[in-house]
Structure 1
Amino acid sequence: MLTVTDNARSAVEDLVQQAGVPAEGGLRIAQATGQPGNFELALVPAPQPDDQVVDDSGATHVFVEADAAPALDALTLDADPAAQGPGFVLTPQQA
Protein backbone atom coordinates (compact mmCIF):
# COMPACT_ATOMS: atom_id res chain seq x y z
CA MET A 1 0.00 0.00 0.00
CA LEU A 2 1.16 3.55 -0.73
CA THR A 3 2.81 5.18 2.27
CA VAL A 4 2.79 8.89 3.13
CA THR A 5 5.73 10.77 4.66
CA ASP A 6 5.38 13.42 7.36
CA ASN A 7 6.35 16.10 4.80
CA ALA A 8 3.57 14.97 2.44
CA ARG A 9 1.11 14.76 5.33
CA SER A 10 1.87 18.38 6.30
CA ALA A 11 1.58 19.55 2.69
CA VAL A 12 -1.79 17.83 2.29
CA GLU A 13 -3.03 19.37 5.55
CA ASP A 14 -1.97 22.84 4.38
CA LEU A 15 -3.61 22.43 0.96
CA VAL A 16 -6.86 21.08 2.39
CA GLN A 17 -7.06 23.94 4.89
CA GLN A 18 -6.29 26.62 2.27
CA ALA A 19 -8.87 25.19 -0.14
CA GLY A 20 -11.58 24.86 2.49
CA VAL A 21 -12.04 21.14 1.82
CA PRO A 22 -14.49 19.45 4.23
CA ALA A 23 -13.04 17.38 7.09
CA GLU A 24 -13.84 14.09 5.32
CA GLY A 25 -12.08 15.27 2.14
CA GLY A 26 -8.44 15.10 1.16
CA LEU A 27 -5.95 14.43 -1.62
CA ARG A 28 -6.99 11.86 -4.25
CA ILE A 29 -4.50 10.12 -6.53
CA ALA A 30 -5.91 8.64 -9.75
CA GLN A 31 -4.63 7.32 -13.07
CA ALA A 32 -4.27 10.14 -15.59
CA THR A 33 -6.86 9.80 -18.35
CA GLY A 34 -5.24 8.49 -21.52
CA GLN A 35 -1.75 8.54 -19.99
CA PRO A 36 -0.85 5.12 -18.53
CA GLY A 37 1.72 5.37 -15.77
CA ASN A 38 0.91 9.01 -15.02
CA PHE A 39 -1.16 10.13 -12.09
CA GLU A 40 -3.44 13.05 -11.32
CA LEU A 41 -3.64 14.56 -7.85
CA ALA A 42 -6.74 16.47 -6.82
CA LEU A 43 -8.33 17.83 -3.67
CA VAL A 44 -11.73 16.20 -3.22
CA PRO A 45 -14.55 16.69 -0.67
CA ALA A 46 -14.77 12.91 -0.03
CA PRO A 47 -13.35 9.64 -1.37
CA GLN A 48 -15.09 7.73 -4.14
CA PRO A 49 -16.79 4.50 -2.96
CA ASP A 50 -14.02 2.24 -4.35
CA ASP A 51 -11.05 4.42 -3.27
CA GLN A 52 -8.44 3.09 -0.85
CA VAL A 53 -8.00 5.34 2.18
CA VAL A 54 -4.22 5.32 2.51
CA ASP A 55 -3.66 7.84 5.24
CA ASP A 56 -6.34 9.03 7.61
CA SER A 57 -4.23 9.98 10.61
CA GLY A 58 -5.25 13.24 12.20
CA ALA A 59 -6.58 15.83 9.77
CA THR A 60 -4.91 14.25 6.74
CA HIS A 61 -6.69 12.09 4.19
CA VAL A 62 -5.05 10.54 1.14
CA PHE A 63 -7.21 8.47 -1.20
CA VAL A 64 -6.07 6.21 -4.05
CA GLU A 65 -8.32 5.31 -6.98
CA ALA A 66 -8.85 1.54 -7.16
CA ASP A 67 -7.34 1.37 -10.69
CA ALA A 68 -4.21 3.24 -9.55
CA ALA A 69 -3.67 1.28 -6.32
CA PRO A 70 -1.62 -1.62 -7.80
CA ALA A 71 0.81 0.79 -9.51
CA LEU A 72 1.28 2.77 -6.27
CA ASP A 73 1.54 -0.26 -3.99
CA ALA A 74 5.31 -0.09 -3.40
CA LEU A 75 5.67 3.70 -3.54
CA THR A 76 5.90 6.51 -1.00
CA LEU A 77 4.22 9.91 -1.41
CA ASP A 78 6.60 12.66 -0.32
CA ALA A 79 6.64 16.42 -0.59
CA ASP A 80 9.53 18.81 -1.10
CA PRO A 81 9.15 21.55 1.53
CA ALA A 82 11.49 23.81 -0.49
CA ALA A 83 9.41 23.61 -3.69
CA GLN A 84 7.41 26.58 -4.91
CA GLY A 85 3.89 25.36 -4.23
CA PRO A 86 3.07 21.74 -3.45
CA GLY A 87 5.85 19.57 -4.85
CA PHE A 88 4.68 15.99 -4.46
CA VAL A 89 6.88 13.09 -5.58
CA LEU A 90 6.41 9.34 -5.68
CA THR A 91 9.47 7.28 -4.75
CA PRO A 92 10.08 3.56 -4.11
CA GLN A 93 9.48 2.53 -0.49
CA GLN A 94 12.60 1.91 1.58
CA ALA A 95 13.00 -1.72 2.59
Structure 2
Amino acid sequence: MLTLTETASTVVKSIIDRDPNSTDGALRIAPGANERDFSIAVVSAPEPGDELVESHGARVFLEPTASAALGDKTLDAEVAETGAVSFALVNQG
Protein backbone atom coordinates (compact mmCIF):
# COMPACT_ATOMS: atom_id res chain seq x y z
CA MET A 1 0.00 0.00 0.00
CA LEU A 2 1.20 3.51 -0.77
CA THR A 3 2.69 5.28 2.23
CA LEU A 4 3.35 8.99 2.78
CA THR A 5 6.30 10.64 4.41
CA GLU A 6 5.56 13.13 7.14
CA THR A 7 6.51 15.94 4.74
CA ALA A 8 4.14 14.63 2.07
CA SER A 9 1.36 14.37 4.64
CA THR A 10 1.90 17.98 5.71
CA VAL A 11 1.89 19.19 2.09
CA VAL A 12 -1.24 17.19 1.22
CA LYS A 13 -3.09 18.62 4.24
CA SER A 14 -1.96 22.13 3.29
CA ILE A 15 -3.20 21.74 -0.30
CA ILE A 16 -6.56 20.43 0.86
CA ASP A 17 -6.91 23.17 3.49
CA ARG A 18 -6.49 25.82 0.76
CA ASP A 19 -9.52 24.51 -1.14
CA PRO A 20 -12.62 26.13 0.40
CA ASN A 21 -14.94 23.60 -1.27
CA SER A 22 -13.26 20.59 0.29
CA THR A 23 -14.08 20.37 3.99
CA ASP A 24 -13.70 16.57 4.07
CA GLY A 25 -11.53 16.43 1.00
CA ALA A 26 -8.56 14.45 -0.07
CA LEU A 27 -5.94 14.44 -2.75
CA ARG A 28 -6.91 11.99 -5.51
CA ILE A 29 -4.22 10.26 -7.55
CA ALA A 30 -5.21 8.80 -10.92
CA PRO A 31 -3.35 7.63 -14.03
CA GLY A 32 -2.03 10.42 -16.23
CA ALA A 33 -1.32 10.72 -19.94
CA ASN A 34 1.04 7.75 -20.00
CA GLU A 35 1.84 4.82 -17.73
CA ARG A 36 4.56 6.70 -15.83
CA ASP A 37 2.49 9.83 -15.15
CA PHE A 38 -0.13 10.45 -12.53
CA SER A 39 -2.59 13.29 -12.11
CA ILE A 40 -3.59 14.75 -8.78
CA ALA A 41 -6.63 16.75 -7.81
CA VAL A 42 -8.35 17.89 -4.64
CA VAL A 43 -11.72 16.14 -4.38
CA SER A 44 -14.47 16.09 -1.80
CA ALA A 45 -15.30 12.39 -2.18
CA PRO A 46 -13.76 9.25 -3.66
CA GLU A 47 -14.79 7.75 -6.96
CA PRO A 48 -16.20 4.18 -6.91
CA GLY A 49 -13.35 1.72 -6.33
CA ASP A 50 -10.90 4.28 -4.94
CA GLU A 51 -8.67 3.19 -2.08
CA LEU A 52 -8.22 5.51 0.90
CA VAL A 53 -4.75 6.07 2.34
CA GLU A 54 -4.52 8.08 5.56
CA SER A 55 -1.27 9.25 7.09
CA HIS A 56 -0.58 11.88 9.76
CA GLY A 57 -4.06 13.34 9.16
CA ALA A 58 -3.67 13.52 5.37
CA ARG A 59 -6.13 11.69 3.13
CA VAL A 60 -5.33 10.37 -0.35
CA PHE A 61 -7.75 8.58 -2.66
CA LEU A 62 -6.10 6.21 -5.13
CA GLU A 63 -7.85 5.27 -8.36
CA PRO A 64 -7.66 1.44 -8.70
CA THR A 65 -5.02 1.46 -11.47
CA ALA A 66 -2.94 4.01 -9.55
CA SER A 67 -3.33 1.96 -6.38
CA ALA A 68 -1.92 -1.13 -8.11
CA ALA A 69 0.97 0.83 -9.63
CA LEU A 70 1.87 2.63 -6.40
CA GLY A 71 1.36 -0.19 -3.91
CA ASP A 72 5.07 -0.53 -3.15
CA LYS A 73 5.90 3.19 -3.20
CA THR A 74 6.24 6.03 -0.72
CA LEU A 75 5.04 9.52 -1.65
CA ASP A 76 7.41 12.29 -0.62
CA ALA A 77 7.15 16.03 -1.19
CA GLU A 78 9.42 19.02 -1.36
CA VAL A 79 8.50 22.68 -1.08
CA ALA A 80 10.82 25.12 -2.86
CA GLU A 81 11.62 28.57 -1.49
CA THR A 82 9.17 29.96 -4.07
CA GLY A 83 6.40 27.83 -2.56
CA ALA A 84 6.28 25.42 -5.50
CA VAL A 85 5.51 21.85 -4.50
CA SER A 86 6.98 18.78 -6.13
CA PHE A 87 6.09 15.20 -5.33
CA ALA A 88 8.35 12.19 -5.72
CA LEU A 89 7.68 8.48 -5.54
CA VAL A 90 10.34 6.25 -4.01
CA ASN A 91 10.45 2.52 -3.46
CA GLN A 92 9.57 1.40 0.02
CA GLY A 93 12.56 0.09 1.91
Q: Secondary structure at the match of 2:52?
A: strand
- Whether the 8 Å contact between 1:30 and 1:67 is mirrored in structure 2 is yes
TM-score normalized by structure 1? 0.85
TM-score normalized by structure 2? 0.87
Q: Distance in 1 between matches of 2:25 and 2:55?
A: 10
Calculate percent identity across the aligned residue pairs. Answer: 37
Runs of 4+, deviation exceeding 4 Å: none
Q: Unaligned 5+ residue runs, structure 2?
A: none
Q: Distance in 1 between matches of 2:21 and 2:59?
A: 11
Q: Distance in 2 between matches of 1:32 and 1:56?
A: 23
- Whether the 8 Å contact between 1:24 and 1:61 is mirrored in structure 2 is no
Count residues with an aligned counterpart.
92
Which residue is equivalent to 1:49? 48
- RMSD in angstroms over aligned alpha carbons? 1.7
Which residue is equivalent to 1:92? 91
After superposition, what is the alpha-carbon deviation per residue over 1:7-47, rounded to whole angstroms, capped at 9, x for unaligned? 001001111111224232110110114x1221111111111
Q: How far is the alpha carbon of 1:49 from its aligned partner? A: 2.0
Q: Unaligned 5+ residue runs, structure 1?
A: none
Write 1 or 2 for the structure with the bigger share of strand: 2
